[in-house]
Amino acid sequence: MTRQQLKNSGKIMKKSCMPKNDVTEEKVGKIEQGVFIAEHNVMCYIACVYKLIQVVKNERLNKASITKQIDILYPQDLKESVKRNVASCVEIQYKYEDPCEGIFYSTKCLYEADPPNFIFP
């Protein structure tokens, strides 16, 4: 898939997860640009998106599942960088008892590690 195709497929997940977590476009519309609003419903929105793409197991991001999805979906030029960032950021979630909070901070780490290659709906 191209970067744009990835973004387009994310719109479906966004439409599904926004009402489930009672968030607005104002709260989640700029995550891809690094705007992470530390509110529980935003945190759970991010977790919802990852659940829909089946990379959450036992309420936590699963590195093997994410790596598999990257191999299948990501453009060739992004794969290695994103996988490297996942390897370093996925562990952050275990510092937090709340799964939504842990996934939120792991996602924020992914953005901070490589803003130009961060893709999120």
Backbone phi and psi for residue 23, each to the nearest 5 degrees, phi listed first:
-120, 155
Structural domain count, the chain: 1
Distance, in Å, from the CA atom of 9 to the CA atom of 108, rounded to the nearest integer, reads 21
pLDDT at 22: 97
* Mean pLDDT rounded to a whole number for the chain: 94
H or E segment at 17?
A: helix 3-20
SS3 29: coil
Grade residue 3 by pLDDT with cuts at 50, 70 and 90.
confident
Question: What CATH number has the domain bearing residue 10?
Answer: 1.10.238.20
Q: Which domain holds residue 17?
A: 3-117
